[in-house]
C-alpha cells in the first residue's frame, strides 16, 4: 500500500499540496484526476523523491519515503508527462542506456520492448519517431527496472486516439503482471476505462476518492465547471 | 552504471558534428593563420632592409664592401630600393662619407637598427683601408689588422636568463590556441548539460538513483578524452602544416610525458569551468554568451591574444590570475625551454586544483538545483 498523510508542498508562498491524504492499494490501477495545476504532477514528483515536502508522511510498500528513498526508487518508476529520453540516440541505444543505468534484466528489457511494440523501430533515431512511437518509448523506459509501482503522468497528452487506446490497453496489462499503477489524467473517460479507484484533487486538496467511478462523475463535472468559471 | 553513462555521453558527443568541427577546426585555423601572419613579428632577425648601392669609386675595396653587405642577412640588395647607399668617388682614400638616402619614412628605432647593422660592414671596410695603408710600410703591421674581429661572439660574452627566451610565431600560437580551444569546450559542454534538463532526462535519471557525482563525471570524461586528441592534433598542425607556409615548424624540445600531463591538467580546468557555467545557466544561449565572454577575457588576460612578453609588467602580473596563462606558460616551458614534468608541475597542479574546485562547486550547485526542482 502507498499511504500519503497530510502532505504539504509549497513553491515559495504557493501551497501546491495542501494537507493531502489518500491511500493506494497494492496491485491496483489508481487514477489521480484533476484539472491542470491541481497538483497531480507534483504528488508524483514527491512520490519519486524528485522534490521534497514541507510536512506530512509518505509510506510506499512499508518503506518510509524520507528514510528509504533509494529503496523506493529501486522498486518504482515514473513515466513523465514530457518525453524524457535522448533524441539523438536510437531507440535501442536509449533502451540499452536506461536498462544499464538501473541494472535492469534482459527479461525486463524484452518485456518493455514487446509490450510497447518497439521491435520494428529499434534502430530508428528517437528524433525521427512519430508522436505515438515516442510516447511508447517513453513508457518502455519506465519498465526497464522491472518496477512494482509505475507512475504515469498524463501519458496520452498530444497523441492520436489509436495510439492513446493502445497505451491505455497496455497499462491495463500491467495490473495482470502485479504492478501497481498510479495514473494521472484530466480526462474522466480515460480513468473510467482503466482505473479501479480514482481520487479527484483540486488546488492540492483531495475532493473525493471512489471505487464506484459513476459517483465521481458529478464531482468532476462540478470541478471542471468551476475551473471554467 | 557509470560505464553506461560514459558510453552514452560519447555517443552524444560524437553525433554532434558541429561541436566537434568547432573544437578541432577553429583552433587549427587560428594556429595556421596566426603563425603565418605573425611570422616576421616574432622572428628577432626578421628585419630586412632592402637597399640599392651606387658605387662611384668602383675599387677593389668598395667591391669587397658591397660583397660583405650582400652577405649580411639584414640587407637585401635590389634596384630602386627605398634605401639608396651611394659610395662617393675616392671614398677609400679620403674622409668622404657614404651618402644614405631613405625615400619613404622609417621609424626612429628602425633607423637606429639600420645604422647598427651597417656599421659593422663599414668598420670592416675601414679596417681594410687601414690594413692596405699599413701594409705599404710593413707586412707585419698590416697582418695585425687581420686579428681584429668584429664578430659579437668574439667581442663579448653574453649571458642571459634562459626563461626570458622569446618564442617564434609557431611556438607562441600553437600553445595559445590549444589553451583557447580547450576552453572553447564551454559551449558544447554547456549544451550537453542543458539539453539533459530540457529533454527531462536529468529528472528521469534522478528518479533512477543516479547520483549527481555520476552525472557530472560521466559528462566530463568524453571531453577530457577529446581535449587530449585536440591538443595533439594542434601540435601536429604546428609541426607539419604550418611549415608548408614558409613558417617555422613547432619543435617539442621538452618531454612528451610532461606534455600529456599538462594537457590533462589543462583539460580538467577547462571542463571544470565549463561544468560550472553549464549548471549555473538556464539556457544554452545564456551559457554560450557567458562562456564566450569568459573565454575571450581569460584569453586576453592570459596571453593568448597578446603574448605576455610584450605586455607591460602590471599586465604580466595580472595575467597570472588566468588559468589560460598557467597552461600557456606550461606549454612554453616544454616547447621552448625543453621542460619536463618537474618544470610544469606548478602550472599543472594549479590547473588541476582550479578544475577540481570548479567541478566540486558544479556538483553542489547541480544537487541544490535538482532539489529545488529547477525543471
Look at residue A229 and tell me whether its pLDDT is greater than 50.
no
Q: What was the pLDDT predicted at B162?
A: 52
d(C-alpha B244, C-alpha B247), whole Å: 7
Is residue B173 within 8 Å of B35, Cβ to Cβ?
Answer: yes
CA distance B274 to chain A (A): 21
CA distance A197 to chain B (A): 25
ipTM of the predicted structure?
0.86
Residue the block writes with cell 501546491: A16
* One domain for residues B307 and B220: yes
Taking phi over 0 as left and psi of -120 to 50 as alpha, with beta for the rest, B207 belongs to alpha
Which chain A residues are Cβ-neighbours of B15 within 8 angstroms? 88
pLDDT tens digit string along A140-193? 999 998 899 999 998 888 778 888 888 888 888 888 888 999 999 888 888 888
Helix (H) or strand (E) holding A13: none
Residue-number span of the structural domain to which B151 is assigned: 49-164
SS3 content of chain A, % helix, strand, coil (to 5): 40, 30, 30
Q: What was the pLDDT predicted at B165?
A: 65
Which chain B residues are Cβ-neighbours of A89 within 8 angstroms? 8, 11-12
Least confident piece of the model among A155-159, A219-223, B194-198: A219-223
Look at residue B163 and tell me whether its pLDDT is greater than 60.
no
Q: What was the pLDDT predicted at B41?
A: 66
pLDDT tens digit string along B75-89? 888 888 888 989 888
CATH of the domain at A62: 3.40.50.300
Look at residue B373 and tell me whether its pLDDT is greater than 70.
no
pLDDT tens digit string along B172-188? 888 888 999 888 888 88
What residues of A are in the B interface, CB distance below 8 Å? 45, 48-52, 70, 73-74, 77-78, 80, 82-89, 93, 96-98, 100-103, 141, 145
Look at residue B259 and tell me whether its pLDDT is greater than 60.
yes
Which chain A residues are Cβ-neighbours of B205 within 8 angstroms? 101
Taking the Cβ of residue B18 and every Cβ of chain A, the question of whether any pair is shorter than 8 Å is answered with no
Of chain B, the percentage scoring pLDDT greater than 70 comes to 95
CA distance B1 to chain A (A): 5
Least confident piece of the model among B4-8, B139-143, B371-375: B371-375
d(C-alpha B225, C-alpha B182), whole Å: 11
Look at residue B1 and tell me whether its pLDDT is greater than 90.
no
The grid coordinates listed for A121 are: 523501430
Give the predicted TM-score (pTM) of the model. Answer: 0.73
Number of domains in chain B: 2
* Most confident of the ranges A184-193, B104-113, B360-369: B360-369
* One domain for residues B269 and B327: yes
pLDDT tens digit string along A41-57? 889 988 988 888 889 99
Q: What was the pLDDT predicted at B20?
A: 85
Look at residue B302 and tell me whether its pLDDT is greater than 80.
yes
Of chain A, the percentage scoring pLDDT greater than 70 comes to 95
Q: What was the pLDDT predicted at B375?
A: 42
How far is CA A177 from its chain centroid? 16
Of A49, A84, A89, the CB nearest to B204: A84
Look at residue A228 and tell me whether its pLDDT is greater than 70.
no
- Put simply, the answer to whether B199 touches A98 (Cβ < 8 Å) is no
Give B292's pLDDT tier (boundaries 50, 70, 90).
Answer: confident
The chain-wide mean pLDDT, for chain B, equals 85
d(C-alpha A104, C-alpha A122), whole Å: 18
Least confident piece of the model among A53-67, A128-142, A215-229, B232-246: A215-229
Domain boundary among B113, B146, B164: B164
Which chain A residues are Cβ-neighbours of B17 within 8 angstroms? none
Look at residue B45 and tell me whether its pLDDT is greater than 70.
no
Least confident piece of the model among A203-207, B110-114, B285-289, B319-323: B110-114
Which chain A residues are Cβ-neighbours of B1 within 8 angstroms? 100-103
Greater pLDDT, B335 or B308 = B335
pLDDT tens digit string along B205-233? 988 888 888 888 998 999 999 999 999 99
The CA–CA distances, whole Å, from B138 to B133, B144, B147, B149 equal 9, 10, 15, 20
pLDDT tens digit string along B5-27? 999 999 988 888 888 888 888 88
CATH of the domain at B103: 3.40.190
Least confident piece of the model among B31-35, B153-157, B198-202, B271-275: B153-157
Give B102's pLDDT tier (boundaries 50, 70, 90).
Answer: confident
Residue closest to B101 by CA, chosen among B89, B114, B83: B83
Residue-number span of the structural domain to which A31 is assigned: 2-228
* One domain for residues B288 and B186: yes
Edge to edge, the sheet with strand A2-11 lists: A14-24, A2-11, A55-60, A63-64
Is residue B96 within 8 Å of B90, Cβ to Cβ?
Answer: yes
The chain-wide mean pLDDT, for chain A, equals 87
Taking the Cβ of residue B364 and every Cβ of chain A, the question of whether any pair is shorter than 8 Å is answered with no
d(C-alpha B343, C-alpha B229), whole Å: 23
* One domain for residues B184 and B68: no
The CA–CA distances, whole Å, from A175 to A2, A145, A178, B152 equal 16, 16, 5, 95
Amino acid at each position: 500500500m502507498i499511504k500519503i498523510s497530510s502532505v504539504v508542498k509549497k513553491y515559495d508562498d504557493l501551497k501546491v499540496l495542501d494537507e493531502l491524504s489518500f491511500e493506494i492499494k497494492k496491485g491496483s490501477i489508481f487514477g489521480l484526476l484533476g484539472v491542470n495545476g491541481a497538483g497531480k504532477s507534483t504528488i508524483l514528483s514527491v512520490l519519486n523523491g524528485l522534490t521534497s515536502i514541507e510536512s506530512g508522511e509518505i509510506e510506499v510498500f512499508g518503506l518510509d519515503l524520507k528514510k528509504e528513498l533509494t529503496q523506493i526508487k529501486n522498486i518504482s518508476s515514473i513515466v513523465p508527462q514530457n518525453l524524457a529520453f535522448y533524441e539523438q540516440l536510437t531507440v535501442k541505444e536509449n533502451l540499452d542506456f536506461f536498462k544499464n543505468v538501473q541494472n535492469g534484466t534482459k527479461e525486463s528489457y524484452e518485456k518493455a520492448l514487446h509490450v510497447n511494440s518497439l521491435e520494428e523501430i529499434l534502430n530508428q533515431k528517437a528524433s525521427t519517431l512519430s508522436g505515438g512511437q515516442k510516447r511508447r518509448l517513453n513508457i518502455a523506459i519506465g519498465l526497464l527496472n522491472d518496477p512494482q509501482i509505475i507512475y504515469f503522468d498524463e501519458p496520452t497528452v498530444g497523441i492520436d486516439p489509436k495510439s492513446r487506446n493502445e497505451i491505455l490497453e497496455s497499462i491495463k496489462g500491467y495490473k495482470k503482471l502485479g504492478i501497481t499503477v498510479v495514473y494521472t489524467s484530466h480526462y474522466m473517460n480515460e480513468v473510467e476505462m482503466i482505473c479501479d479507484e480514482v481520487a479527484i484533487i483540486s488546488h492540492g486538496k483531495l475532493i473525493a476518492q471512489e471505487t464506484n467511478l459513476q459517483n465521481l462523475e458529478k464531482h468532476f463535472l462540478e470541478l471542471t465547471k468551476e475551473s471554467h468559471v | 552504471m557509470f560505464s553506461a553513462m560514459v558510453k552514452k555521453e560519447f555517443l552524444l558527443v560524437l553525433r554532434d558534428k558541429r561541436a566537434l568541427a568547432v573544437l578541432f577546426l577553429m583552433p587549427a585555423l587560428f594556429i595556421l593563420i596566426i603563425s603565418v601572419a605573425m611570422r616576421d613579428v616574432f622572428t628577432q632577425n626578421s628585419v630586412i632592409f632592402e637597399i640599392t648601392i651606387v658605387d662611384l669609386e668602383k675599387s677593389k675595396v668598395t667591391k669587397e664592401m658591397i660583397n660583405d653587405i650582400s652577405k649580411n642577412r639584414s640587407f637585401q640588395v635590389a634596384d630602386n630600393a627605398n634605401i639608396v647607399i651611394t659610395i662617393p668617388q675616392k671614398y677609400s682614400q679620403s674622409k668622404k662619407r657614404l651618402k644614405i638616402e631613405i625615400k619613404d619614412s622609417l621609424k626612429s628605432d628602425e633607423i637606429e637598427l639600420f645604422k647598427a647593422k651597417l656599421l659593422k660592414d663599414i668598420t670592416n671596410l675601414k679596417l681594410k683601408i687601414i690594413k692596405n695603408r699599413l701594409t705599404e710600410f710593413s707586412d707585419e703591421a698590416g697582418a695585425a689588422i687581420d686579428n681584429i674581429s668584429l664578430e659579437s661572439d668574439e667581442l663579448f660574452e653574453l649571458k642571459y636568463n634562459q626563461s626570458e627566451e622569446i618564442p617564434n610565431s609557431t611556438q607562441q600560437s600553437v600553445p595559445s590556441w590549444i589553451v583557447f580551444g580547450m576552453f572553447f569546450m564551454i559551449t558544447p559542454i554547456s549544451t550537453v548539460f542543458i539539453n539533459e534538463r530540457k529533454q527531462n532526462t536529468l529528472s528521469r535519471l534522478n528518479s533512477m538513483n543516479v547520483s549527481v557525482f555520476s552525472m557530472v563525471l560521466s559528462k566530463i570524461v568524453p571531453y577530457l578524452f577529446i581535449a587530449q586528441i585536440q591538443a595533439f592534433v594542434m601540435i601536429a598542425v604546428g609541426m607539419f602544416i604550418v611549415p608548408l607556409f614558409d613558417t617555422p615548424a613547432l619543435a617539442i624540445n621538452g618531454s612528451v610525458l610532461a606534455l600529456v600531463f599538462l594537457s590533462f591538467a589543462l583539460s580538467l580546468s577547462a571542463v571544470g569551468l565549463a561544468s560550472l557555467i553549464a549548471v549555473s545557466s538556464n539556457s544554452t544561449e545564456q551559457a554560450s554568451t557567458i562562456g564566450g565572454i569568459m573565454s575571450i577575457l581569460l584569453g586576453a588576460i592570459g596571453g593568448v591574444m597578446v603574448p605576455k612578453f610584450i605586455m607591460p609588467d602590471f599586465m604580466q602580473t595580472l595575467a597570472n590570475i588566468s588559468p589560460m596563462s598557467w597552461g600557456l606558460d606550461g606549454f612554453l616551458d616544454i616547447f621552448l625551454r625543453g621542460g619536463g614534468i618537474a618544470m610544469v608541475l606548478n602550472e599543472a597542479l594549479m590547473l588541476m586544483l582550479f578544475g577540481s574546485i570548479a567541478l566540486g562547486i558544479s556538483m553542489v550547485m547541480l544537487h541544490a538545483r535538482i532539489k529545488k526542482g529547477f525543471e
